[in-house]
Structure 1
Amino acid sequence: MEEHSETAPELAGRRLKLRALRQEDSGALLHCWSHPEAAYWLGIKPLVSKAEAEELIRLLLEMEREEESLRWSIELTSGEVIGSCGYNNWQLTGAFRGEVGCELSPAFWGQGYMREALTLALRYGFEEMKLNRVEAQCLPANLRSGRMFASLGFRREGTLREYRHTPSGFQDVDLYALLRRDWRDL
């Protein structure tokens, strides 16, 4: 039986759609997760096999079943999967806060695909999940991601010092946040 998401709704954009993460995406996502530069920005050791990608997808789907994560595959209108995005965690009771995460195969960087994908995910987060605040984290040196978050209305709130432990040691991350009231103004 093919393992796939039971809760991630399909969201359609102009050039892509967000659809449920599936085990059959492991080959395409391995291209992203195994690329040294993409893995560096994610703070992970590059994956080296399709089996590792399948295991990561299995883990993400398990977290989704436990309502700790909601992840979509980013699929072009051609059917090609080029990355993933979604909510790494959220808190609906009380805080109504979520954290968005994303990655894209480097061949597709700088073409506006992630901005389009996150626009869909943010709309879902604010309208359907009823989030009040969405946070994003990126390395201070990841200027491209920082500019993208700013273009979506996120504000940089500061640097979390040595926040992440990675294969290369502790890393600072910049914290960005977008409030529902600011999103509505876009």
Structure 2
Amino acid sequence: MYICGGVTPELHGARIELQAIAVCHAPALYEIWTHPAVGPWLNAPPLESACDAGQLIELLLQMSREEESLRWSIALPDGKIIGSCGYNQWQLAGAYRGEIGCELSPVYWGQGYMRETLELMLDFGFGTMGLNRIEALCHPGNTRAAGLFRALGFSQEGLLRQYRHTGAGFQDAALFALLRSDRQK
């Protein structure tokens, strides 16, 4: 059973590294989080500046220290930050499930970086954290995310009507899930 003690471990893939999100990543993440092709899909408050992104990162770091969430920046070998990902929440006792979230700079879409990222996260969730079920929520219109989740073996289990409230109003969320036993097939 995973207890992180407020420390986010680094995870290494063939082409990317997942490093603990840091305030120094705020300028790069601000550009990604506010990109017109990314921002509308996020369940996050509107950001006006890199300073706002830094404050959001501080909140995410506090949540990590309190073991309420776990967030990584996705980095290339040269250190360039191209996205972020993490466990928005998890519940071990009685449920052994977690919910993931992720976003990537559109410059890197379609090149397998997010698939590699999610593979690292799934291995960590099922292996180190001891999860049995990993969930992902996405806007029903986000066909790229839905397609990636399906390609990784997730099943769409339903539609959560008016699940989130954003600046655009109430939004539905598609619920995808992957079980440990699905991953082992």
Residue matched to 1:159? 159
Residue matched to 1:88? 88
Q: Which amino acid in the other structure matches residue 21 of structure 2? A: L
Residue matched to 2:120? 120
SS class of match (1:127): helix
Distance 1:141 1:43 in 2: 14
Q: CA deviation at 1:48?
A: 2.1
Aligned length: 181
**Sequence identity of aligned pairs in percent?**
56
Contact 1:76 1:82 in 2 (8 A): yes
With normalisation by structure 2, the TM-score equals: 0.94
Runs of 4+ in 1 over 3 A off after TM superposition: 43-46
Contact 1:161 1:173 in 2 (8 A): yes
**Do structure 1's residue 144 and structure 2's residue 170 form an aligned pair?**
no
Distance 2:44 2:67 in 1: 23
With normalisation by structure 1, the TM-score equals: 0.94
Residue matched to 2:36? 36
- Structure 2: runs of 5+ lacking an equivalent: none
Query: Which whole-Å deviations, capped at 9, do the CAs of 1:18-73 have from their partners, x for residues lacking one?
Result: 11111110111011112123110113454221110100100000000111100111
SS class of match (1:36): coil
Residue matched to 2:176? 176
Residue matched to 1:77? 77
- Structure 1: runs of 5+ lacking an equivalent: none
Q: Which amino acid in the other structure matches residue 92 of structure 1? A: L
Distance 1:46 1:36 in 2: 12
1:56-71 paired onto structure 2 within 5 Å:
56-71=56-71
Distance 2:44 2:101 in 1: 13
Distance 1:88 1:17 in 2: 19
Distance 2:6 2:87 in 1: 15
Contact 1:33 1:46 in 2 (8 A): no
